[in-house]
Structure 1
């Protein structure tokens, strides 16, 4: 606990600079809490086989380590942070703020959580607290709850660490998640950044009480240029607020607001577009040439919003490129739709032209390799049940400047 941020760097300026440090969450007991009764509420399409999901996640982490990436885990960092009394108090206050409780049950739950050590408290905050586990429960609210209900909801969505925080240069945006079932994720991540010694001195550039922004919608196209998907999850007001924040902090000069159609398979911008090289994206073909973007820049303390242009055109112009190269998800319309559903283009760049992808998306991976992208294949049969791929499951904390990367011949 004596380490300080003086020994650690935190900076991310692009999607593809060589990855040095990443934050992951290894799935555990919270996935075991998923049932046919609550999976929709908790935003999972299927009930995953937890043991296999853990094996797949361990292989994902090892694939990153084998390429020289330092892997940090949410649970371990949270346990460390909860050694501090101020962090414990804040975590417990967040957990019992639910208006369902009423005064009596709130006091009982707070007392139960206060009695837990740091390891058990971290476990409960993530895995949740079931009605039948609170043996001291009593009172009207407790008695009228269904015995299968959770008093503190589990957080299976914490698996997707990209959504609740994203780094922009040396500042972290702790995001404002739109779905009620996931909002405590940001509170826990924010707790880590606020109290863990590794992040001492880090200044947040965004916080959960602001307008809705989710990390899966935020793509750092190159230093100074950010594309932000705009729809149900990340609202136009959220994009505007993020733009004002990053411009004021000198973190970017251009934000592209990209409206996206909200469907189950296209929740975030990174479900239809990710980067695999400094000038190359992999995209779902039906939207590649229909996406538009509003270019937002600073203008005398306010925002200037240009007329919409095709996304690929607007992005290339903002990045100073003649054009962006596009690799299609799939090979034909049927394959493209299937592999889009299976997160075929939700890749994680480990370095320029080196990306992690689910092995099941055979055609998309073949397209990537044909374009000169090396693919690190991982299994995702169980991890994918929450509709998220390698990018969704990872929050980069440190990347090299992509302009310093040696380009292959």
Structure 2
């Protein structure tokens, strides 16, 4: 199976999603902040919204793969099961006695049951320990509402833990502690699942912090990488070196963004909806800058130029006279509201065809007026973790060369 992505807008063939499940039901007012959610989602409604999202993709000919299914199939491979179990047991929180009890519990789970634990976590009470099977000091002193294995509610946002660049996958290095275990799952899937046998990697979780929401494939050979709350300058530099060495790109635009919750990733303020067109948060469009990075003549040192206005640097790198811009909202207040509600975070299924949240009425109208068809989906519950259609999707296959099918 050939997986290949070299643009944001070419005809989408295959996408990786994660249908929200019991991990969302683990969110409470006690832990939602630490688990990076702004509200407690209604799980049933979130699932309905996600199912409608997946159905919209399938109706346009997109193959939808689910992370939980791939993980279950991966765990049928003995080496993968042993590796992922060992990584969970390695946690320094457990202590020797509790580690043995958790190991015993995991041993008897079938692949589907183990996949559930690895995604939804394991609560203190679910181990059912007692006088005959003591959990040791750690288990005894734990709050009964705590987790022995933490849930991963942000798995919903599959864009962040891996990104395909050409025919190679980058399994990223997530910055927030609540999310770091996500990449152990995606890494194992890409290494052990039969569908991905022989896949080459261009990035690994042990490298500097880099998240997929900060990586835009502006055109074949041209990447933009946001640097802010999640992706570090060191992560952007490492990615540049990796893609240049692999011959996957000739230009990287490094784009500093505000280190704020509202702009956690570059794709919260800018996404592509056509080969020469971006949807951009108007309140920052004029001040957004970029540093242009290319490989040095010796192949070792990087050449860094700039800063220059982002839109000018992007047009030059993409060999365009200019990049067309569609503004979020119609005025500064509407723009701010709809940017917060992921109005900028669209997923292109093909040139001039994208998926966006229905609640961003003005932004969607702006897109339609500019000749961009919008497939509007509900997202009142899905958006509680601060992510839109692009965040919830990791493209695995697009038509090469930025072309439509």
> TM-score, normalization: structure 2?
0.97
CA shift digits 1:108-148 (9 cap, x unpaired):
21221122110000001000000011113510111111111
1:315 is the counterpart of 2:314:
yes
Tell me, which stretches of 5 or more residues in structure 2 are unaligned?
A: none
How far residue 232 of structure 1 moved from its aligned partner, in angstroms, is: 2.5
- Residue matched to 2:35: 42
Structure 2 CA distance, aligned partners of 1:403 and 1:127?
37
How many equivalent pairs are there?
Answer: 399
- Residue matched to 2:397: 398
CA shift digits 1:42-95 (9 cap, x unpaired):
000000000000000000000000000000000000000000110001111121
How far residue 103 of structure 1 moved from its aligned partner, in angstroms, is: 2.1
Tell me if the contact between 2:9 and 2:402 (Cα under 8 Å) persists in the aligned partners. Answer: no
Tell me if the contact between 1:18 and 1:402 (Cα under 8 Å) persists in the aligned partners. Answer: no
SS of residue in 1 equivalent to 2:279: strand
- Residue matched to 1:124: 117
- Candidates 140, 148, 152, aligned match of 2:145: 148
- Residue matched to 2:373: 374
1:93 is the counterpart of 2:86:
yes
- Residue matched to 2:199: 202
- Residue matched to 2:351: 352
- Candidates 72, 76, 95, aligned match of 1:79: 72
How far residue 106 of structure 1 moved from its aligned partner, in angstroms, is: 1.7
How far residue 154 of structure 1 moved from its aligned partner, in angstroms, is: 0.4
- Residue matched to 2:302: 303
Tell me if the contact between 1:221 and 1:227 (Cα under 8 Å) persists in the aligned partners. Answer: yes
Tell me if the contact between 2:219 and 2:402 (Cα under 8 Å) persists in the aligned partners. Answer: no
- Residue matched to 1:54: 47
SS of residue in 2 equivalent to 1:397: strand
Structure 1 CA distance, aligned partners of 2:20 and 2:402?
35
Tell me, which stretches of 5 or more residues in structure 1 are unaligned?
A: 1-7
1:365 is the counterpart of 2:348:
no
1:248 is the counterpart of 2:241:
no
SS of residue in 1 equivalent to 2:263: coil
How far residue 343 of structure 1 moved from its aligned partner, in angstroms, is: 0.2
How far residue 97 of structure 1 moved from its aligned partner, in angstroms, is: 2.0
SS of residue in 1 equivalent to 2:160: helix
SS of residue in 2 equivalent to 1:47: coil
Runs of 4+ in 1 over 3 A off after TM superposition: none
1:277-288 counterparts in 2 under 5 A? 277-288=274-285
- Residue matched to 1:158: 155
CA shift digits 1:241-264 (9 cap, x unpaired):
011000000111111110000211
How far residue 403 of structure 1 moved from its aligned partner, in angstroms, is: 4.4
1:264 is the counterpart of 2:261:
yes
How far residue 405 of structure 1 moved from its aligned partner, in angstroms, is: 2.8
**RMSD (CA atoms):** 0.9
1:212 is the counterpart of 2:202:
no
How far residue 402 of structure 1 moved from its aligned partner, in angstroms, is: 4.7
- Residue matched to 2:136: 139
SS of residue in 1 equivalent to 2:344: coil
- Residue matched to 1:333: 332
Tell me if the contact between 2:272 and 2:278 (Cα under 8 Å) persists in the aligned partners. Answer: yes
Tell me if the contact between 2:154 and 2:385 (Cα under 8 Å) persists in the aligned partners. Answer: yes
CA shift digits 1:221-280 (9 cap, x unpaired):
000000000022000000000110000001111111100002111100000000000000
- Candidates 138, 146, 171, aligned match of 1:174: 171
